[in-house]
Structure 1
Amino acid sequence: MPDLPAVVPEASLPERVTIYEVGPRDGLQNESTIVPLDVKAEFVERLIAAGLPIVEATSFVHPTWVPQLADAEELVARLPLDGPVPLPVLVPNERGLDRALAAGCTHVAIFGSATETFAKKNLNSSLDGQYAMFEPVVRRALDAGLDVRAYVSMCFGDPWEGQVPVGQVVDAGRRLLDLGATQLSLGDTIGVGTPGHVGALLDAFDGADVGVERLAMHFHDTYGQALANALAALRHGITTFDASAGGLGGCPYAESATGNLATEDLVWMLTGLGIGHGVDLDQLVATSTWMAGHLGRPSPSAVVRALGSVVD
């Protein structure tokens, strides 16, 4: 079995992309079994060693809401925050920012919603109220010299509200960028997006004068569309993609949700298209196979399943 695909470039695609690794935060946060601190720290270190250019480490959310990430301070204290690879942390509010600042973090992210219902359930806020909540977080972070990323969730569908109008997503995204975020990650939180929908959303952002250089895509593979959607986004010029090693993660709001776009699956496709990414696939597969052993179940990534026994 080949360990790399044949390279057949597509001339219109970007020459290089950035993979924004979210496995240690978004991937692990839904795991019911608490992963030991030592394992989390090694996970991040192994991802860095595999060549991931950005690794989102954890979230400074209240431990009551996400027990898996209750050790955020302890984890960050063991990581190379001053190293060449940014290690962003999620900060849900000013208290989360206080903790991130005290820990010496240099990159933070906020997590907004494109829908009213999810804003209430996830943020305990109205759709409009979330911006007032985030404004001091972003302002204080920027004043302290931190980089701020913004996520907007439910961009393609909401389990309570159904299909989400494209214009509503663009409005939410622009308001988050207007707060001062340097990048906006568009999340298909329940994995219902399709390539045509991706194109329509990106066209709408372009029409609102938000260029692709300010956007990232965050796909879930609930309905098996994540790679197809990533290719559609590439064809629209997107060069930053969120992905999770081994396909870790999932959505608690949709049955049979199978987690985030697997980093290995994305790397395999990018390699075949001749697009640079800087990731060592063998090291990454070995890392995800190792983590799957700690979690006690096989990785959902197709590439990990195909290559795991070869490189582990």
Structure 2
Amino acid sequence: MARPSLADLTAFAAIVTHRSFRKAADGLGLSPSTLSHMMRTLERNMGVRLLHRTTRSVSTTEAGERLVAHLQPVLRDLDRALEEVNAFRARPSGTLRINASEGAAQILLRTVVPTFLDRYPEMALDLVTEGKLVDIVEGGFDAGIRLGEALPKDMIAVRLREEMRFLAVASPAYLAKHGTPQTPDDLQHHACIRMRMPSGKLYRWEFEKHGQELSVEVPGPLTLDHTELMAECAVDGLGIAFVPDPTAQPHLDAGKLVTVLSDWCPPIPGLFLYYPAGRHVPAGLRAFIDVLKEVVR
């Protein structure tokens, strides 16, 4: 059996992690065809099939499952060793991978990212926006951004944004034509712009006032999966949207939207950057956190 190269083993581990040749290729900066060739070479050198491949999916064989179980800890130890050496450099280098929602990514791009990339030119930032919540350790991310109320356990959290609110908003023209709801129950008589979660479920609008909590499944002819689009549709008079205040604020400032049921929309814990406790913190992540803290102050 020919000894496989570190590059081939790293590529194999990436495919298993992503369960996709395309996603693994994107993460490694390779073409899918190059990655496929590397796997054929790896399997040929090892003399055993490691992956089951179809046009739609990829999974490990029993041999592949055993290999990756031993390989992943070794690669993590290797990354840790390289990172410890990197700490002796005057400036951190490498790639920092952060998982965030699109809204959180927009906040980072407006605030932390420009300073970080300017100050640390040898760093690259891989900012992945996904609607669904992911396990950042399993996904190979250095950190994630999430609302404070949804932070996983055993994570260290650094505040990115103070308390925020989800706001019910509509255009003045819509309210002039259809009236203004006074309570969440009144939404049953309005066209609401609903939101579909990555899981496929419809998001229930959550309200609270004087300790009374309501979770409302609103009606409406339009369902979207993007808060910016929801706000734009509300501006166009298509109904009432329920969106985070950073999304609504530019339209509120321009007078294109107004809030309704504002006394039913309490603040919730803001956004936090989080990363695993008890693990070595890469120099690039430490540098990013330092910039983040400066911006927040």
Greater Rg by CA: 2
TM class, shorter-length: under 0.3
Q: Which has the higher strand share?
A: 2
**Which TM-score applies when normalising by structure 2?**
0.23
